[in-house]
Chain A
Amino acid sequence: MADVQPPPAPAAPDAILAADVGSTRTHVCLIERVEGAYRLVARAESPTTWGEPENDVTIGVCRAVQDVEAIVQRPLLDGDGDILTPMEPGGVAGVNTFVATSSAAPPLRCVIVGLTDDLSVESAARTCAAANTVVTRTISLGDTMRRWDDATLQSLHQSPPDVILIVGGVDTGPVAPLESAALVLATIYETVEPERRPVVVFAGNQEARRALMDLLAPLFDYRVVDNVRPNVDVETPGELHRELAEIYERIALPRVPGYARLQRWAAGPVLSTFEALGNTLRYIAQRDRLERGVLGIDVGGGTTHVGAVRGSIYQWAAAAGIGTGQGADALLRLAGRDRLLRWLPIPLSTTEAASFLQNAHLRPHSIPQTMEDLVLGHAMLREAASISLEQMRLLYWSPEDDESWGAGHASARPMPSFDLIAARGGFVAHTPQDGLITMALLDAVQPVGLVRIVTDWATIWPQVGAVAAVAPLAAAQVLARDGFHTLGTVIAPTGTGRPGEIALRLSIAREDGKPLTLDVPAGSVRRVPLAAGQRARIRVYPSRAYDIGLGRRGVGGQAEVVGGSLGIVIDARGRPLQLPEDAEECRTRNQLWLRNLIDDDADAPA
């Protein structure tokens, strides 16, 4: 008998095509080995072809791939319009591997069934809001008048939701009401075709698990997770949050028209964009040994996603239907016109603003061509990111997480400090002025302490997260060499001072220049140029009213910082950021802050 040879290890691919199919745009990038290292060779984007008239997302992928073909001057699609794999000998056509991520599916539609309107139902609704899930109806079993009325029955029976989430009861609480609800659900869906039945997730009283399983498991895809409110004072949303994310990937994504073809092309499973982006953020935190972690902000056309890596833990929140494209309408309704308009540095009437926003919602693929349109988009970016950050605060971040946190309501507390803010999204990639992006991120995140800001200039982070599964070296090298655009390092103290008072004194020693000392007045934003890749040693001396993130006011510190397109940015506006009540004054302040960031020579010392 011949010796059995172990199969040869798969060769590392020379060319990888990766696509991210978003709800508004599809991004494709080509990664190739160039002189021994993997590089981003070409990238292209195309409107996502989710709806009428194409109804097939692979058409948008192919259009973007055709643009990549034109850049690299070699065919990547075959005669049938499929991705050409494997690569032809000599590298004259095709690629070795194709991977894909997607967030094109609409948010999950969920009905919550609970004992009462408060407590567990509130916890479940908060968890859904942060898990790209829209709650279409809440059924309170305590409401004996309306719990199973005709309107409820018709919505459940005629347009079944994706998920029914049953919650309620502290652990060891009563079981009978939950059993009754389960019986009713079984009655409603008994004659409905199995493929139209919703997934049922039970996140309630542990005592009821077995009884509900007996009633529901024969009919439904039945899932059990931790009780979202095991007692009145404790909320444990983590497992439910993960389960909803898994259901989105397993049920919602495959419903995207053209998904089967996309999956056929791909070397591995089509990952959700959120998961793939999480892989990338985790890798960055690990690679750079970032003790305070990374905050990722992805404001897309239809969904806004915020993820934070701290230590080995990755936490995220995705605001369903909130974004700067299709999500503009929902964002406008949620945030309100006044909150959006307060960020504008130029005068724009509410009618004009509403018209801009609503038309952007109708044609989400279009891009701004005027400064009014652009800054309105950045106002949306601020509010969308704020909503997701608020979800993170409510779900995950407690005062104990960070020493710099004070007491009080969640929204009044400053952000936990991070080493890196990594931002991406349509308005981040399509804004040529780095000052505008930085200002929007400073306003939305209101970071504390010392933090570096980078952007996904090429819109490749999710694709790189998917590439990591098939070619980790390629992902790491592309991310290191081509993945970032560094805006700069921000110093942002907490505290408030009177206008004109010095908030902090900054001493900067550049590698190649004379030391520089700068006094930064309270309420101002300043910038000191420091080119990308350059390093400088800084010493910060805050006044007694300010804390630079060390947990004590008036205590100074020193650090080595790296430059970026903007250099070093000092945000001495204090935390939480207070905008003037008067609209005119607010606009003037916004103009001043922006000018200090955009203009090279506004106030910043050379």
Chain B
Amino acid sequence: MMMPTRLLEVRFSPTAQIVRRRLLPAPGEVTVQVGDHVEADDIVARALIEGQLRSLDLTRALQTSARAALRCARVAEGTPLAAGDVVARRRTLLSKREVTSPWAGTVRGVCDGCLFLQEEPQEVRLRAHLPGRVVEQYPGLGVAVQTSGALVRGVWGSGGEGYGLLAVCVDAPGDALRWNSFGLRYRGMVVVGGTLYDPRALYRASHFGLSGLVVGSIAPELMRLAATLRLPIVVTEGLGAIPMAGPVFELLARHHGRQAVVAGPQGEGQNGAELIVPLPGEGAMMALVPAQAIETGDIVRLTRPPFMGAIAQVIALPGRPQETAIGTHADGAEVRLQDGRRVFVPYVNMELFG
């Protein structure tokens, strides 16, 4: 029996067929058909989602007890309300207090001294995000959109989705993105830098309305700040001062000025942070696979010190576990670093550049 093929995560692909599913948060209506061509901004599906639940603290507003507040309520469960409607009233010998609703909606109940109401359902519109062709429809749920292009999957991201022209604002993959690396004319663009450790660059990017930031690495202390901004950010290598991998930087520099879509997870995290540069009409491309068998000659990125961020070429695939520099035995590959050294690296410490 043969040794199993070693599958490694593909983090970067200069040309591939990319398919992304676009799904509604709740069942709704799909507005496009299989075969339709869509732009990033096109609506592909929409749904009504439950309105927000609101509370009005009647005890505080009427300065009374929870039990008395219940008696003062002038509306009952199920009552439709318009903004400004009186929902509770309390008369005393000297005064009259009224509580009005600041929101339109439907009363859900009065309990524990609070009036609960639900706002009207809201329509959610789902954009295609990716310019391309609809290849699958999930009735009532969403679609799958396919495009051909370049893909860079990040190790961390934040801020949701954006798209715009790609603008490489540094000269080398290790150059820091500074506050003055870009100006107001970059509004709506996806800006690329090597490293990011200046909080002013983050604030400025958000303030100027950039569509996204793509950097090789980010200072750990900026992660929390980045996650609070509504600015899509994709980090390709890691945390600290790791230059963007050479092949990634060269690819982005080559596509400077092209339309790109960027996605960081909502909030922050590792799942789904990516940059796609659509390349329509660039000929037939292979389908993108999430993991691929490693072979001699492949280019890999090393992900753990002492070779963190280094790019190397696979020169041998020993079939048995080998000893690492600290004595651990692990399955891995022998690789040649860019300075010519040959080293053994465990498979779990490398990622494939497709």
Interchain CB contact under 8 A, B9 and A53 = yes
Query: Given the complex, which residues of B lie within 8 Å of A190, measured CB to CB?
Result: 108
Query: Given the complex, which residues of B lie within 8 Å of A370, measured CB to CB?
Result: 305-306, 325-326
Q: Which residue of B lies closest to A54 (CB)?
A: B290
Asked whether A433 is an interface residue with its Cβ less than 8 Å from the other chain, the reply is yes
Shortest CB-to-CB span from A86 to chain B, Å, is 20
> CB-defined interface of B29-62 with A at 8 Å, one 1/0 digit per residue?
0000000000000000000001011110101100
Distance, CA A70 to CA B349, complexed state (A): 22
Interface residues of B in 110-138 (CB under 8 A from A): 111-114, 116, 118
Interchain CB contact under 8 A, B109 and A53 = no
Query: Given the complex, which residues of A lie within 8 Å of B66, measured CB to CB?
Result: 180
Query: Given the complex, which residues of A lie within 8 Å of B346, measured CB to CB?
Result: 366-367, 369
Distance, CA A281 to CA B239, complexed state (A): 39
Asked whether B4 is an interface residue with its Cβ less than 8 Å from the other chain, the reply is yes
Q: Which residue of A lies closest to B221 (CB)?
A: A354
Q: Which residue of B lies closest to A145 (CB)?
A: B60
Asked whether A191 is an interface residue with its Cβ less than 8 Å from the other chain, the reply is yes
Asked whether B79 is an interface residue with its Cβ less than 8 Å from the other chain, the reply is no
Residue of B2, B53, B220, B304 near A188 (CB, 8 A) is B53
> CB-defined interface of A327-349 with B at 8 Å, one 1/0 digit per residue?
00000000000000000000000
Interchain CB contact under 8 A, A153 and B326 = no
Asked whether A148 is an interface residue with its Cβ less than 8 Å from the other chain, the reply is yes
Shortest CB-to-CB span from A60 to chain B, Å, is 10
Distance, CA A73 to CA B60, complexed state (A): 74
Interchain CB contact under 8 A, A153 and B112 = no
Query: Given the complex, which residues of B lie within 8 Å of A236, measured CB to CB?
Result: none
Asked whether A67 is an interface residue with its Cβ less than 8 Å from the other chain, the reply is yes
Asked whether B1 is an interface residue with its Cβ less than 8 Å from the other chain, the reply is yes
Query: Given the complex, which residues of A lie within 8 Å of B327, measured CB to CB?
Result: 432-433
Asked whether B330 is an interface residue with its Cβ less than 8 Å from the other chain, the reply is yes
Interchain CB contact under 8 A, B1 and A369 = no
Query: Given the complex, which residues of A lie within 8 Å of B326, measured CB to CB?
Result: 368-371, 374, 432
Q: Which residue of B lies closest to A354 (CB)?
A: B220
Partner-contacting stretch, out of A225-233, A244-252, A355-363, A399-407: A355-363
Query: Given the complex, which residues of A lie within 8 Å of B163, measured CB to CB?
Result: none
Residue of B4, B239, B272, B307 near A66 (CB, 8 A) is B4
Query: Given the complex, which residues of B lie within 8 Å of A69, measured CB to CB?
Result: 1, 4
Interchain CB contact under 8 A, B55 and A359 = no
Query: Given the complex, which residues of B lie within 8 Å of A145, measured CB to CB?
Result: 57, 60
> CB-defined interface of B266-292 with A at 8 Å, one 1/0 digit per residue?
000011100000000000000000110
**If the complex has contacts A70-B4, A184-B112, A362-B238, are A367 and B348 also in contact, measured as CB distance less than 8 A?**
yes
Asked whether A517 is an interface residue with its Cβ less than 8 Å from the other chain, the reply is no
- A73, A144, A187, A373 — most chain B CB neighbours (10 Å): A187
**If the complex has contacts A148-B112, A354-B220, are A366 and B303 also in contact, measured as CB distance less than 8 A?**
yes
Residue of B112, B325, B329 near A183 (CB, 8 A) is B112
> CB-defined interface of A165-188 with B at 8 Å, one 1/0 digit per residue?
000000000000000110110011
> CB-defined interface of B159-171 with A at 8 Å, one 1/0 digit per residue?
0000000000000
Asked whether A63 is an interface residue with its Cβ less than 8 Å from the other chain, the reply is yes
Interchain CB contact under 8 A, B53 and A355 = no
Query: Given the complex, which residues of B lie within 8 Å of A157, measured CB to CB?
Result: 50, 52-53
Interchain CB contact under 8 A, B108 and A187 = yes
Asked whether A47 is an interface residue with its Cβ less than 8 Å from the other chain, the reply is yes
Residue of A75, A153, A366, A433 near B349 (CB, 8 A) is A366
Contact-size category for B: 35 or more
Shortest CB-to-CB span from B235 to chain A, Å, is 9
Interchain CB contact under 8 A, A372 and B271 = no
Asked whether A558 is an interface residue with its Cβ less than 8 Å from the other chain, the reply is no
Asked whether A286 is an interface residue with its Cβ less than 8 Å from the other chain, the reply is no
Distance, CA A67 to CA B345, complexed state (A): 18
Interchain CB contact under 8 A, A52 and B60 = no
Interface residues of B in 289-316 (CB under 8 A from A): 290-291, 303-308
Interchain CB contact under 8 A, B55 and A191 = no
Distance, CA A372 to CA B270, complexed state (A): 25
Asked whether A510 is an interface residue with its Cβ less than 8 Å from the other chain, the reply is no
Residue of A53, A148, A187 near B291 (CB, 8 A) is A53
Distance, CA A372 to CA B1, complexed state (A): 39
Query: Given the complex, which residues of B lie within 8 Å of A66, measured CB to CB?
Result: 4
Asked whether A481 is an interface residue with its Cβ less than 8 Å from the other chain, the reply is no
Interchain CB contact under 8 A, B304 and A355 = no
Distance, CA A154 to CA B118, complexed state (A): 11
Asked whether A511 is an interface residue with its Cβ less than 8 Å from the other chain, the reply is no
Distance, CA A359 to CA B331, complexed state (A): 21
Asked whether B76 is an interface residue with its Cβ less than 8 Å from the other chain, the reply is no
Shortest CB-to-CB span from B148 to chain A, Å, is 18
Q: Which residue of A lies closest to B114 (CB)?
A: A148
Interchain CB contact under 8 A, A369 and B345 = yes
Shortest CB-to-CB span from B304 to chain A, Å, is 5
Distance, CA A388 to CA B165, complexed state (A): 50
**If the complex has contacts A52-B272, A54-B291, A184-B116, are A148 and B304 also in contact, measured as CB distance less than 8 A?**
no
Asked whether B155 is an interface residue with its Cβ less than 8 Å from the other chain, the reply is yes
Query: Given the complex, which residues of A lie within 8 Å of B272, measured CB to CB?
Result: 52
Asked whether B83 is an interface residue with its Cβ less than 8 Å from the other chain, the reply is no
Interchain CB contact under 8 A, A188 and B116 = yes
Residue of A70, A191, A366 near B50 (CB, 8 A) is A191
Interface residues of A in 355-395 (CB under 8 A from B): 355-356, 358-360, 362-363, 365-374
Asked whether B68 is an interface residue with its Cβ less than 8 Å from the other chain, the reply is no
Query: Given the complex, which residues of A lie within 8 Å of B345, measured CB to CB?
Result: 369
Q: Which residue of B lies closest to A355 (CB)?
A: B240
Shortest CB-to-CB span from B91 to chain A, Å, is 23
Query: Given the complex, which residues of B lie within 8 Å of A371, measured CB to CB?
Result: 326
Q: Which residue of B lies closest to A332 (CB)?
A: B220
Interchain CB contact under 8 A, B239 and A358 = yes
Query: Given the complex, which residues of B lie within 8 Å of A149, measured CB to CB?
Result: 55
Interchain CB contact under 8 A, A187 and B328 = no
Asked whether A261 is an interface residue with its Cβ less than 8 Å from the other chain, the reply is no
Asked whether B3 is an interface residue with its Cβ less than 8 Å from the other chain, the reply is yes
Interface residues of B in 89-115 (CB under 8 A from A): 108-109, 111-114
Asked whether B324 is an interface residue with its Cβ less than 8 Å from the other chain, the reply is yes
Query: Given the complex, which residues of A lie within 8 Å of B307, measured CB to CB?
Result: 369
Asked whether A537 is an interface residue with its Cβ less than 8 Å from the other chain, the reply is no
**If the complex has contacts A191-B118, A370-B326, are A73 and B1 also in contact, measured as CB distance less than 8 A?**
yes
Distance, CA A356 to CA B240, complexed state (A): 9
Interchain CB contact under 8 A, B325 and A369 = yes
Shortest CB-to-CB span from A193 to chain B, Å, is 9
Query: Given the complex, which residues of A lie within 8 Å of B111, measured CB to CB?
Result: 180, 183-184, 187
**If the complex has contacts A363-B155, A369-B345, are A67 and B239 also in contact, measured as CB distance less than 8 A?**
no
Asked whether B182 is an interface residue with its Cβ less than 8 Å from the other chain, the reply is no
Residue of B55, B156, B271, B304 near A368 (CB, 8 A) is B304
Query: Given the complex, which residues of B lie within 8 Å of A255, measured CB to CB?
Result: none
Interface residues of B in 310-354 (CB under 8 A from A): 324-331, 345-346, 348-349
Interchain CB contact under 8 A, B109 and A187 = yes
Asked whether A544 is an interface residue with its Cβ less than 8 Å from the other chain, the reply is no
Distance, CA A74 to CA B1, complexed state (A): 7
Distance, CA A431 to CA B327, complexed state (A): 8
Distance, CA A182 to CA B38, complexed state (A): 48
Interface residues of A in 448-494 (CB under 8 A from B): none
> CB-defined interface of B2-18 with A at 8 Å, one 1/0 digit per residue?
11100101000000000
Residue of B3, B240, B303 near A363 (CB, 8 A) is B303
Top 4 A-B residue pairs of the complex, sorted by shortest distance between their CB atoms: A53-B290, A432-B327, A66-B4, A180-B112
Q: List 20 A-B contacts (CB under 8 A).
A: A52-B290, A53-B290, A54-B290, A70-B1, A141-B112, A148-B116, A150-B52, A150-B54, A180-B111, A184-B111, A184-B114, A188-B116, A191-B50, A359-B239, A362-B155, A363-B155, A363-B303, A365-B348, A366-B348, A367-B330
| Known pairs A51-B271, A370-B305 / 16 extra A-B pairs, C-beta < 8 Å | A47-B348, A63-B4, A70-B1, A70-B4, A75-B1, A150-B55, A153-B116, A157-B53, A183-B112, A184-B116, A188-B53, A358-B220, A359-B240, A362-B156, A366-B346, A432-B329
